[in-house]
Amino acid sequence: MNAGPNTITVHGEFFDAEGNSLGTKGDSLAPYSRVQWSSAFTRAPINAHRIEAGFGEV
């Protein structure tokens, strides 16, 4: 969520259950906007279709 008057870039890193990095994803947010990454683990550039458990950090 961008609660400010300027465009920002948000980066998230995705990990498997053991803590191994699967990659990062970024998105630009317009002023006063928000974004939700549905099915984030299966979308480019992560493409982790066979993952059973994992987590992300923003």
What is the domain partition of the chain in residue ranges?
8-57
- Beta strands at 8-16 and 54-57: parallel, antiparallel or unpaired: antiparallel
Bridge-partner residues for 15, per DSSP? 21, 55
- Give me the pLDDT at residue 39, please: 83
Q: Long-range CB contacts (< 8 A, 24+ apart) of 23-28? A: none
Q: Which of 5-9, 18-22, 29-33, 43-47 has the lowest mean pLDDT?
A: 43-47
Residue 2's pLDDT is what?
95
pLDDT band at 6 (very low <50, low <70, confident <90, very high): very high
What is residue 48's predicted lDDT score, i.e. its pLDDT?
Answer: 82
